[in-house]
């Protein structure tokens, strides 16, 4: 099953010619989840050949413009394209007021249902669940209320070993029970242990998205052990004072947090526009957490 993330924007507030502000697209078995929606996101969607209409759910971490200024344009494009399928939108409570005003003054009545779910900024909250994935929100430490998100696959059913089906006569009606982990008893009363007939499913994968935030170990329990952590790295360590003042993170902040949380891989992004080259940020982060990669516009990472 596909579980991957495409970077639509990797910069902080000011875009550059090669780096757009924040937007990620998570693909879970061809269901698309958009995470943040900076100005220009819909152009990035077109540039990187994403199918607009497969976006079902949009998650906005907070109300700084570089994380949601592209939203009304994207929603209007869905409208102009004649979309009928509903969009599920998760964001700060005030976001609904903003969108309602934008739609009202532009005399726009969307062709499709827009279902809004206000985020809470305390605790670890289940905000979406389906047969494939769960999504939780959790609070970050920033100058305005901000949420991180954890996307986690559900455990899949066990896999029946193909060779077994030629050696053991297993009725079709019993195969689902095998996938659920039950033993099989044949017509002669012989018991076949489940682990003889099936194999373990792949381990569930997880992706944590931590947008604008100062260093805070309060999030460690929420992201512990995740397969891929995206953590903002606005500044290099020599600008730690600016990071603290603006409630952002440095390279070593992100690396230290990833190490404490025991994540498998760290992806850094939300780079300040002052950096023409971002390789030095990668090198500095890797000095503490070697398993670090860069968020670069247009790349897709299989998790």
Residues serving a catalytic function are 66
Tokens of 199: 């194999």
Indicate the burial class of 15 (C-beta count within 10 angstroms; 0-12, 13-18, 19 or more): middle
Q: How far apart are CA 143 and CA 153, in angstroms?
A: 31
Which residues are bridge partners to 133 per DSSP?
153
Of the candidates 219, 215, 198, 207, which has an alpha carbon nearest to the alpha carbon of residue 264? Answer: 207
Instruction: Check: CB of residue 88 under 8 Å from CB of residue 57.
Output: yes
Q: How many Å is the Cα radius of gyration of the chain?
A: 22
Collapsing DSSP states into helix, strand and coil, what is residue 213?
coil
Taking CA atoms, 138 is separated from 5, 120, 156, 196, in Å, by 20, 8, 25, 41
Of 40, 48, 4, 34, the closest CA to residue 21 belongs to 40
Token code pair at residue 132: 């494939």
DSSP SS3 for 244? helix
CB 53 within 8 A of CB 83: yes
């Amino acid at each position: 099953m596909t579980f991957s993330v495409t970077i639509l924007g990797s910069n902080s507030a000011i875009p550059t010619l090669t780096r757009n502000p924040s937007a990620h697209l998570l693909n879970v078995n061809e269901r698309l989840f958009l995470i943040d929606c900076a100005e220009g996101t819909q152009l990035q969607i077109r540039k990187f050949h994403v199918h607009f209409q497969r976006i079902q759910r949009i998650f906005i971490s907070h109300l700084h413009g570089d994380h949601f200024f592209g939203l009304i344009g994207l929603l209007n494009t869905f409208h102009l394209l004649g979309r009928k399928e509903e969009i599920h939108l998760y964001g700060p409570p005030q976001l609904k007021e903003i969108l309602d005003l934008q739609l009202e003054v532009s005399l726009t009545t969307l062709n499709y249902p827009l279902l809004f779910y206000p985020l809470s900024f305390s605790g670890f909250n289940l905000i979406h669940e389906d047969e494939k994935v769960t999504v939780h929100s959790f609070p970050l430490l920033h100058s305005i209320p901000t949420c991180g998100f954890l996307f986690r696959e559900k455990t899949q059913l066990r896999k029946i070993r193909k060779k077994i089906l030629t050696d053991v006569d297993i009725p079709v009606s019993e195969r689902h029970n095998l996938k659920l982990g039950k033993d099989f008893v044949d017509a002669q009363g012989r018991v076949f242990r489940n682990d003889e007939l099936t194999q373990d499913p792949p381990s569930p994968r997880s992706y944590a998205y931590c947008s604008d935030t100062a260093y805070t170990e309060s999030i460690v329990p929420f992201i512990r052990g995740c397969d891929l952590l995206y953590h903002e790295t606005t500044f290099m360590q020599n600008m730690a004072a600016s990071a603290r003042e603006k409630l952002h993170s440095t390279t070593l902040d992100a690396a230290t947090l990833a190490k404490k949380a025991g994540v498998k891989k760290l992806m850094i992004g939300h780079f300040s526009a002052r950096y023409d080259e971002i390789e030095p940020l990668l090198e500095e982060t890797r000095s503490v957490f070697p398993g670090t990669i860069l968020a670069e516009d247009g790349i897709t990472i299989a998790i």
